[in-house]
């Protein structure tokens, strides 16, 4: 194995590849068709297991960094650096977080009780017992008593003239547009029964939910004038919680999401997780929805945005990396390219 660096190609170095695969890319004006990646992979994945092991990766490096068939020697640290570049999103060594969204009394047995909500408590406990996450996060909907989302409070704020629903007629799940002093735009808000008021019984996590030591707790919806379905951002993307910073601090790569409700807070938390570049996996059977009709569209939106929806029975293979899904691998690769927007990258791939 090479232990020193040299600006000259080595005279002799083990080279299992009689022809240099990269030669055609050295010639000026070589056509770079879309098949080059598959061809490259097929060439170097000599044991055909779908992965490039260390030996195969060395084979690739020694052909790539060469002159007239003679490889340049790379130091171990250079090889490691190049490998880490490829693996910059920790594809081979993920750091995992589980976000348990709003498993609070009011969403299970209280004012905003979700159908079969209590049925997710034991699957979540099973997940906590079975898998060791690098970080477990419990989120709490944590509203002040005068919160904008409470139907009981609609008369406490000015209604925007554009609001179809007027204060006198507002009922649960209506969309009301408020005027908030200091903001030009009206604030669109679906109104809910009073729920998860700070320090009340309804805001407590379900008594049977297993609480891990060293977990992180994230309160959301604490500003009276704006709601927060996502555990990352408020609905107007005006202010962030500390969730992203805490995940970054621990170098989390893979975010698993479960809890209540799949069509509201789980959905927006998952979408923001995807947008922040985390490989995001929604554990379907550990979630329930407020509105049954919007459950499937929520899943679809998460999939389309680059997330994965899995059943609990798929969790073992995915967590242990026996099952690697290209959808989220692709998302990770895109993030490795500097977090560029998907269409930008597709354009680069097509036109290069
Ligand atoms: C939620 C409605 C209002 C949720 C929170 O946690 O899904 N839904 N506030
Ligand atoms: Zn709420």
Q: What is the CATH number of the domain that holds 313?
A: 3.40.50.850
Alpha-carbon span 325 to 293, nearest angstrom = 27
Please give the structure tokens belonging to residue 95: 């750091």
Is 343 among the residues known to form the active site? Answer: no
220 is catalytic: yes
Q: Phi/psi at 221 (nearest 5 deg)?
A: 70, 30
CA distance 340 to 279: 15
Statement to judge: residues 54 and 43 lie in one domain: yes
Range of 73's domain?
36-93
Site to probe by mutation for ligand 1, drawn from 100, 103, 110, 195 as the one with most ligand atoms within 8 Å of Cβ, is 195
Tens of pLDDT, residue by residue, the chain (352 residues)? 333 444 455 544 444 455 677 776 655 444 455 567 778 878 888 888 777 778 888 888 888 888 888 888 888 888 887 877 676 666 667 899 999 999 999 999 999 999 999 999 999 999 999 999 999 999 999 999 999 999 999 999 999 999 999 999 999 999 999 999 999 999 999 999 999 999 999 999 999 999 999 999 999 999 999 999 999 999 999 999 999 999 999 989 899 999 999 999 999 999 999 999 899 999 999 999 999 999 999 999 999 999 999 999 999 998 887 787 777 776 766 665 444 444 443 433 433 3
Ligand 1 site-directed mutation target among 148, 229, 291, most atoms within 8 Å of CB: 229
Same domain flag for 77 and 144:
no
Catalytic entry in 265, 272, 284, 309: 265
Strands 175-179 and 158-159: antiparallel
Asked whether 106 lines ligand 1 (CB < 6 A), one says no
- Considering the domain boundaries, does residue 173 fall inside one? no
Does 263 participate in catalysis according to the annotation? no
Residues 52 and 133 in one domain: no
Ligand 1 atom nearest to CA at 192: 3
Whether residue 80 is found in the same domain as residue 210: no
The number of the ligand 1 atom at minimal distance from the alpha carbon of 149 is 3
pLDDT digits (tens, 9 = 90+) for 267-303: 999 999 999 989 999 999 999 999 999 999 999 999 9
212 inside domain: yes
Looking at residue 351, its pLDDT comes to 36
Same domain, 75 and 118: no
Same domain, 124 and 50: no
Number of domains making up the chain? 2
Q: Whose CA is nearest to atom 6 of ligand 1?
A: 265
Asked whether 234 lines ligand 1 (CB < 6 A), one says no
- Answer whether residue 242 is part of any domain: yes
Rounded distance between C-alpha atoms, residue 190 and residue 75, angstroms:
60
Q: Report the alpha-carbon distance of residue 241 to residue 272 in Å, rounded.
A: 12
Q: Are residues 51 and 142 in the same domain?
A: no
Q: Is residue 79 part of a domain?
A: yes
Please tell me if the CB atom of residue 56 comes closer than 6 angstroms to any atom of ligand 1: no
Q: Is 268 in the pocket of ligand 1 (CB under 6 A)?
A: no
The verdict on residue 207 lying in a domain is yes
> At which of 48, 76, 93 does a domain end?
93
Burial level of 78, CB count in 10 A (0-12/13-18/19+)?
middle
Calculated CA dihedral for residues 234, 239, 243, 247, nearest 10 degrees: 120
Q: Using an 8 Å Cβ cutoff, are 220 and 241 in contact?
A: yes
Shared domain check, 100 and 89:
no
pLDDT tens, residue by residue, 27-79 = 544 445 556 777 887 888 888 877 777 888 888 888 888 888 888 888 888 88
Among residues 50, 72, 93, the one where a domain terminates is 93
Q: In this structure, are 131 and 251 located in the same domain?
A: yes
* Pair 88, 215 in one domain: no
Please report whether residue 295 resides in a domain: yes
Whether residue 204 is found in the same domain as residue 265:
yes
Q: Is 117 a domain residue?
A: yes
Asked whether residue 68 is domain-assigned, the answer is yes
Give the distance (Å) from ligand 1 centre to CA of residue 214.
25
One domain, residues 75 and 215: no
């Amino acid at each position: 194995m090479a232990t020193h660096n040299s600006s000259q190609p080595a005279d002799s170095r083990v080279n299992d590849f009689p022809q240099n695969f990269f030669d055609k890319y050295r010639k000026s004006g070589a056509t770079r068709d879309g098949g080059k990646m598959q061809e490259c992979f097929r060439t170097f994945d000599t044991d055909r297991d779908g992965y490039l092991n260390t030996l195969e990766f060395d084979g690739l490096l020694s052909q790539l960094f060469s002159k007239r068939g003679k490889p340049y020697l790379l130091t171990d640290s250079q090889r490691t650096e190049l490998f880490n570049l490829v693996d910059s999103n920790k594809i081979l060594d993920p750091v995992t977080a589980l976000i348990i969204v709003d498993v609070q009394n009011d969403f299970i047995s209280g004012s905003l009780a979700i159908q079969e909500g209590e049925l997710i408590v034991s699957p979540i406990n099973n997940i906590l017992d079975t898998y060791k996450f690098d970080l477990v996060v419990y989120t709490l909907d944590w509203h002040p008593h005068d919160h904008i989302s409470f139907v009981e409070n609609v008369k406490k704020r000015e209604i925007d003239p554009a609001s179809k629903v007027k204060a006198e007629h507002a009922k649960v799940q209506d969309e009301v547009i408020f005027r908030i002093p200091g903001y030009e735009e009206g604030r669109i808000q679906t109104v809910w029964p009073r729920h998860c008021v700070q320090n009340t019984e309804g805001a407590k996590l379900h008594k049977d939910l297993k609480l891990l030591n060293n977990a992180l707790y994230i309160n959301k919806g604490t500003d009276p004038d704006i709601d927060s379905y996502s555990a990352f951002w408020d609905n107007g993307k005006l202010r962030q919680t500390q969730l992203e910073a805490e995940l970054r601090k621990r170098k989390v790569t893979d975010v698993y999401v479960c809890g209540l409700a799949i069509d509201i807070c789980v959905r927006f938390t998952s979408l923001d997780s995807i947008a922040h570049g985390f490989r995001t996996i929604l554990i379907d059977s550990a979630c329930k929805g407020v509105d049954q009709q919007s459950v499937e569209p929520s899943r679809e939106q998460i999939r389309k945005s680059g997330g994965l929806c899995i059943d609990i029975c798929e969790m073992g293979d995915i967590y242990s990396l026996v099952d690697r899904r290209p959808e989220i691998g692709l998302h990770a690769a895109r993030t490795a390219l500097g977090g560029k927007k998907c269409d930008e990258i597709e354009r680069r791939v097509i036109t290069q």
